Structure 1
Amino acid sequence: MILKDYNLTAPQFTALQILINSGGMTISELSQEMDLACSTITDLIDRMEKSELVKRTRDDKDKRVVRVTTLEKGTEVLNKVMERRVQFLDNKLEDLSIEEKENLMNALEKLYKNMSEEYN
């Protein structure tokens, strides 16, 4: 629901996160990071470019290379979505006691650690 409020699909949201965290990358790099075909990423970036979320620019060192970076609007949209997600989660957690919140946090940290070890 939150993504729809900002006319954003889940893959676009993921791409924005990756691009912001990396400072930009090529279609090929983004394709590998998202585990999607280059043609799928190209279509995704085309739509995001039309929405003024990202832009393509030629690499300064190698003009054959095209990099995708996030525009200000893309960063703003991502920040707004993240704020709404935090508010949503805060609302869902408000009935939990401090102990329950700590137990949940510990369990999630353990899950994250276990999942991270699997991928590294």
Structure 2
Amino acid sequence: MTDKEQIISIEKSLRYISAHVRAHGREILKEYELSPLQFVALQWVGDKDDITIGTLSSRLYLAHSTTTDIVDKLEDNGFVKRYKSDRDKRLVLIKMEDKGKEIISAVIAKRVSYISQITSHLSNEDKEILPSVLESILHESEKYFHE
């Protein structure tokens, strides 16, 4: 297999695995009447303290108005809360509420269970190596990610 073929294979595998993991975890979202896009927004809010709608819009690759609508729904359902920045009263920030943390935890637990199932066939050596390889790729990918 050439280098290019290897990279194409890696891209396809990562894309498919990611889609399967997301789909498996999203089964829980039906219980909360939460759309997949709302859940992705909720994850970004949980991953970054003091996030603004502008930053969230950039991360979701959506218009500011569309992101505002998503945050409105999340706030109406008690998943997030808006508040004014202590440092700059003009800034409206979004923070995760306990209900939002609960759904994130439930979905992550479901995903972890699924990943455990799909990696159970790996040797102990492969299980030992896989996290560090993935972390290295993640670290490298973050160098190219622009907010």
> What TM-score do you get using the length of structure 1 for normalisation?
0.79
Following the alignment from structure 1 to structure 2, what is the Cα–Cα distance between the partners of residues 109 and 23? 22
Match of 2:57 in 1: 31
Counterpart amino acid of 1:117? K
Identical positions, percent:
33
Following the alignment from structure 1 to structure 2, what is the Cα–Cα distance between the partners of residues 110 and 61? 35
Following the alignment from structure 2 to structure 1, what is the Cα–Cα distance between the partners of residues 96 and 117? 30
Which consecutive residues of structure 2, in runs of 5 or more, have no partner in the other structure? Answer: 1-23
**1:37-116 correspondence runs (5 A):** 37-116=63-142
Following the alignment from structure 2 to structure 1, what is the Cα–Cα distance between the partners of residues 137 and 116? 20
> What TM-score do you get using the length of structure 2 for normalisation?
0.67
Q: Is the 8 A contact 1:59 1:65 kept in 2?
A: yes
Following the alignment from structure 2 to structure 1, what is the Cα–Cα distance between the partners of residues 61 and 26? 21
- Where does structure 1 differ by over 4 angstroms across 4 or more consecutive aligned residues? none
Following the alignment from structure 1 to structure 2, what is the Cα–Cα distance between the partners of residues 84 and 56? 28
Q: What is the aligned-residue RMSD (CA, Å)?
A: 2.3
Counterpart amino acid of 2:68? T
Which consecutive residues of structure 1, in runs of 5 or more, have no partner in the other structure? Answer: none
